């Protein structure tokens, strides 16, 4: 998918990142405890300043966000949100294919967690070869080994 681009997020992208998360993820959060706007804003601000955020850009349009943490033995995918109107067009799969290749090239595991109520995401990651490695009360832990 040649039109998909990734660019490092700047401070000006923080609101877009928050609104994308809210649009794509709020329904799932509401199922496991409720979406509390002030709490979600605070959590976003903390994460935006401590993780590497990127904007997914397609043909002149920002369509999603990604948040990563690079560690010595793995890459943690903390967020991948596509705006609802751009979902199911292959953008998430195209991005993940590139990230999987990048992790494999560096002999790094790729780790993430999915809310248990988000069956769509769990199926998506399993189709990409991720396996379940554990769980918490609310999340399924998944990994793709290099």
Mean pLDDT within 37-64: 93
**Which residues share a beta bridge with 69?**
76
| pTM for the structure as a whole | 0.89
User: Rounded CA gap, 114 and 105, in Å?
Assistant: 24
Q: Which residues pair with 4 in a beta bridge?
A: 58
pLDDT in tens, 87-145: 999 999 999 999 999 999 999 999 999 999 999 999 999 999 999 999 999 899 999 99
Pair 112, 82: CB distance under 8 Å = no
pLDDT at 26: 86
Compute the distance between CA of residue 140 and CA of residue 32 in angstroms, rounded to an integer: 13
Give tens-digit pLDDT for 59-76.
989 999 999 999 999 999
């Amino acid at each position: 998918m040649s039109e998909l681009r990734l660019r490092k997020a700047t401070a000006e992208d923080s609101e877009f990142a928050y609104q994308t998360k809210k649009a794509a993820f709020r329904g799932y959060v509401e199922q496991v405890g409720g979406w509390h706007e002030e709490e979600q804003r605070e959590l976003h601000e903390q994460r935006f300043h401590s993780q590497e955020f990127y904007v997914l850009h397609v043909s002149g349009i920002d369509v999603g966000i990604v948040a990563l943490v690079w560690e010595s033995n793995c890459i943690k995918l903390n967020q991948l949100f596509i705006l609802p109107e751009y979902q199911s067009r292959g953008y998430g799969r195209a991005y993940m294919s590139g990230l999987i290749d990048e992790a494999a090239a560096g002999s790094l595991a790729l780790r993430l967690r999915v809310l248990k109520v988000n069956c769509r995401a769990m199926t998506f990651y399993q189709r990409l070869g991720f396996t379940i490695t554990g769980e918490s009360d609310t999340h399924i832990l998944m990994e793709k080994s290099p």
